[in-house]
Amino acid sequence: MSGNAVYRPDANEALLTLVNVYKTFPVRASFFSAEEVRVRAVDGVSLSLQPGKTLGLVGESGCGKSTMGKLAIRLLDPDSGTIRFEGKDMARLAGEELRGMRRRMQIIFQDPYSSLNPRMKVQDIVGEGWFVHGLARGRELRDKAALLLERVGLTAEARNKYPHEFSGGQRQRIGIARAIALSPRLIVADEPVSALDVSVQAQILNLLKGLQEEYGMAYLFVSHDLRVIRHVSDHVAVMYSGKVMELGPSEELFSRPSHPYTRSLLSAAPMLGGAPAEHIVLSGDIPSPVAPPPGCRFHTRCFRARKFCSECSPLLREVAPGRFAACHFV
């Protein structure tokens, strides 16, 4: 076991920092019982995101990545831990200050069908932020909406239509237009291309990339798709059962994964830039977030696990400059 430095999020100049964040949700133990148990969705996560950069959060279903996205823009409040945006503790903000901060953080959702109000015209969907914050109204709002829609690859006429008149890819463009309308500094993109066909996926990824270069916002990009994460991210955090397993610069992490979970995840994803270096098929299922295994969360499926892995939970430690992994063996 190495004595390397434990990961601490770099608070200097970071746009967003999360320190030791925990979040649980109550659920009923079974359909017929009144007993409540708590799902541990995010279990002690620390991360930071630099302005204008993209942090990819990748993991399988139930690993807590979407909860992380919602915590980051305070759609959810953490049970404990600190989340700082532009250096300010978000939990302490209220009133005007909180409203002002909300302008600078937006979210793009996975499902372009259910995330747009079917009874609102596109210009009202896109311009709602301007309206709410008193930035534009009436004719000015309509003109600004037309410009914005053109920027995301739609026609200006689109502003007078309703969401059902658009295809999935076009709806996602509307969702993106809504997110960038207030020139935010942070956008949480929660599986933004997962519901789209492959040929449309690439268009949306290019649009997101282009907007980032133009406006310089940071993305917290949540996806289960390793190929997408590799393409968009500067840094990547691999999550499993509510914890970060590995963290590092995207290209290094993908070309030389160090954590056993990352290694099996990459080997399971076919065609990730040539043949996979190794072929690992994990046994067993993803553990239930209600009763996660003790010790290292991954030990029940890990090919390197020893007895003490089930007793002692590994910390996220530096394994190479700038690279961190939570494993006793790396």
Partner 1 sequence: MRAGGNKMPDKDALVKHIPGEETQRLLTVEDLSVSFDTEKGSVRALFGVSFSMDAGETIGLVGESGCGKTITALSVMRLLASPPAKMDGGRILFKGRDLFALPEKRMCEVRGQEISMIFQEPMTSMNPVLTVGEQVAEVFTAHGICGKKEAAERAVEWLRKVQMPDPERRAKEYPHQMSGGMRQRAMIAMALALSPSLLIADEPTTALDVTIQAQIMALLREMRERERMAVLLITHDLGVVHDFADRTAIMYLGRIVEMAPTRELFAGPIHPYTQGLLASLPGASQTSRVLPSIPGTVPDLANVPPGCPFSPRCQHRQAAMKRFLSGETSTDELRDCDREDPPAFEFSPGHLAACHYQRRVCGES
**In the complex, which residues of this chain contact partner 1 (CB under 8 A)?**
60-61, 167, 169-170, 197-203, 205-206, 209, 224, 226-232, 251, 254-255, 264-265, 267-273, 281-286, 301
* Smallest separation (angstroms) from partner 1 to the CB of 250: 8
**Cβ proximity to partner 1, 40 vs 230, nearer residue:** 230
Closest CA to 45 of 308, 232, 222: 222
**Cβ proximity to partner 1, 21 vs 266, nearer residue:** 266
* Smallest separation (angstroms) from partner 1 to the CB of 184: 22
* Smallest separation (angstroms) from partner 1 to the CB of 19: 29
| Residue 44 falls in which region: left (phi positive, over 0), alpha (psi -120 to 50) or beta | left
**Cβ proximity to partner 1, 273 vs 294, nearer residue:** 273
**Cβ proximity to partner 1, 19 vs 286, nearer residue:** 286
Report d(CA 100, CA 77) in Å as an integer: 18
* Smallest separation (angstroms) from partner 1 to the CB of 234: 11
**Cβ proximity to partner 1, 94 vs 281, nearer residue:** 281
- Calculate the alpha carbon distances from 91 to 44, 241, 287 in Å: 17, 25, 31
Q: In terms of DSSP H, where are the helices of the chain?
A: 65-72, 95-103, 122-132, 138-151, 168-180, 198-215, 226-232, 250-255, 260-268
Q: Which two tokens stand for residue 34?
A: 């009144």
- Its sign, for the CA torsion 43, 54, 145, 141, is positive
Instruction: State the number of CA atoms in the 13 A half-sphere of 118 facing the CB.
Output: 4
* Smallest separation (angstroms) from partner 1 to the CB of 102: 30
* Smallest separation (angstroms) from partner 1 to the CB of 228: 5
Query: Are 282 and 301 contacting, i.e. CB atoms less than 8 angstroms apart?
Result: yes
**Cβ proximity to partner 1, 12 vs 283, nearer residue:** 283
